[in-house]
Amino acid sequence: MHSSETQLSYSDVVQAYGRIKDHVKRTPIMESSLLNKWMGHRILFKAECLQTIGAFKLRGALNFLAHLDEGGELPKKVVANSSGNHAQAVAYAASKYGIPATIFASETISPIKAAATESYGATLKLFPTRQEADIAVDNAAEEEGIVWIPPFNHPDIVAGQGTAAMEALEDTGKVDAIFAPCGGGGLLSGTLLAARALQPDALVIGAEPLAANDASQSLQQGEIVALDAPPVTLADGAATPSVGNVTFPLLQALDDFYEVDELQIAYWTQWLQHLLKLHIEPTCAMSMAAVAAWAANTPPGQTALVMLSGGNISQASMAEIWQRDFLLQPPIINMEE
């Protein structure tokens, strides 16, 4: 199941949608006429920040368990390692199936995500470092009747995440480019599967923090490269140490990939929250830096779809993002200049 030979296709996304559609929200498509005017393009946003648990991650976790349930193989208990939205997704999905869940995380977990995870009935075990949490989850998963739900590197997770783009592309009609953030690559891989099937002419473009640019390094070197140390970035949802052998071959088929610095991440988080009136995580606001670069180099009048992956932000992150007021500088990309 975890071999890199796993052949994922759009039919896996369609099957995933059949399993989870009654348990997830079909989140809306949003846009800002002001942003469209500034960019010279129509920018559409798939608002997964409005998903149950506040993030797209629910789709993958539900599909993982629903697939096991289909085969009569539901475990006695599930475990996961995550300091973010995956923790909440697993906790919620497990509660839907009446299975106990234990989440292993580092002590740096955002308090808001920790509280939400426990509110869905999961047990939270905290460790000084992410590495220690990862080792602990490995050990727990060895036990009889316990299944580990990985955050991104599994066919059922990727297929589940792909349902967000599938819905979006059904709702938007034709688009010219599709943007998604990259952490472990689950959302971006799933988005690519849906886009290639539904709109093969559309560009699929990824973005990740410059401070956590393992995917970018991996794509440049043609093999998976892991970060040497835990990255420090506002985009905590993209702070994974490396992509996986299921996601990497799909990421290699992307049309473009951008590295985004912390200043731009803060800038676009403020602007998207202001323009869309949505509570948006820095991880998905980051994609707008890639959109802006694309917009500046593309003849006007095209349409882009941006996957807004989540909306769970801690008070500490909010304070950091708003240290400086970026709303005094509108994002003007005017072709006439």
pLDDT recorded at residue 333:
61
141 and 185 assigned to the same domain: no
Q: 0.85 exceeded by the pTM?
A: yes
pLDDT at 337 over 70: no
Residue 56 CA to residue 20 CA, distance in Å, equals: 12
Of the candidates 214, 230, 224, 217, the residue with the CA atom closest to the CA atom of residue 244: 224
- Are residues 51 and 64 located together in one domain of the fold? no
> Per residue in 225-263, pLDDT tens?
999 988 999 998 898 889 999 999 999 999 999 999 999
- Domain assignment present for residue 32? The answer is yes
Domain coverage including residue 200: 10-55+154-322
Q: Is residue 312 part of a domain?
A: yes
User: Domain boundary at 100, 130, 148, which?
Assistant: 148
Say whether both 68 and 211 belong to one domain: no
Same domain as 167, residue 25: yes
Q: What gap in Å lies between CA 94 and CA 201, rounded to an integer?
A: 38
Residue 240 forms part of a structural domain: yes
CA distance 239 to 33: 32
| Position 5 pLDDT exceeds 90 | no
- Closest CA relative to residue 294, chosen from 37, 38, 44, 39: 39
- Asked if residue 223 and residue 139 are part of one domain, the reply reads no
Question: Residue 1: is its pLDDT beyond 60?
Answer: no
The answer as to whether 171 is a domain residue is yes
The total number of structural domains in the chain stands at: 2
DSSP 3-state of 30: strand
Do 34 and 90 sit in the same domain of this protein?
A: no
In a domain, 1, yes or no: no
Res 332: pLDDT: 64
Given a cut of 50, whether residue 101 has pLDDT beyond it is yes
Report if residue 304 sits inside a domain. Answer: yes
- pLDDT tens digits for 62-75? 999 999 999 999 99
167 pLDDT tier (thresholds 50, 70, 90)? very high
Lowest mean pLDDT among 57-61, 130-134, 267-271: 130-134
Counting beta carbons within 10 angstroms of the beta carbon of residue 145, is it exposed (0 to 12), middle (13 to 18) or buried (19 or more)?
A: exposed
Dihedral (C-alpha) 31, 208, 105, 224: value to the nearest 10 degrees? 140
Q: Are residues 301 and 286 in the same domain?
A: yes
Q: Place 131 in a pLDDT band, splitting at 50, 70 and 90.
A: confident
What is the spatial distance between Cα 126 and Cα 128, in angstroms, rounded to a whole number?
7
**What rounded mean pLDDT belongs to the chain?**
93
What would you measure as the largest C-alpha separation in the chain, in angstroms?
65
Helix (H/G/I), strand (E/B), else coil: 238: helix
Q: For residues 102 and 239, state if they share a domain.
A: no
Among 107, 123, 148, the domain-final residue is 148
- Under DSSP, the state recorded for 252 is T
Pair of tokens at residue 90: 């697993």
Q: Taking residues 275-302, report their average pLDDT.
A: 96
Q: How far apart are CA 274 and CA 282, in angstroms?
A: 13
Claim to verify: residue 300 and residue 161 sit in the same structural domain: yes
Query: Amino acid identity of 19?
Result: R
In a domain, 334, yes or no: no
113: domain CATH number is: 3.40.50.1100
Neighbours of 174 (CB within 10 A): 11
Q: Is the pLDDT of residue 4 over 80?
A: no
Q: Both 263 and 177 in a single domain?
A: yes
Beta carbons within 8 Å of 156's beta carbon, 6+ residues apart: 16, 60, 63, 64, 67
Task: Kindly state whether residues 203 and 294 are assigned to the same domain.
Answer: yes
Structure confidence at residue 58 (pLDDT) = 97
- pLDDT tens digits for 216-233? 999 999 999 999 988 999
Residue 184 inside a domain? The answer is yes
Which whole number is the average pLDDT over 102-109? Answer: 90
26-30, 95-99, 309-313: which range is least confident on average? 309-313
Distances (CA, A) of 43 to 26, 77, 98, 172, 329: 19, 42, 40, 11, 19
User: Where among 117, 148, 179 does a domain terminate?
Assistant: 148
Same-domain status, 246 and 269: yes
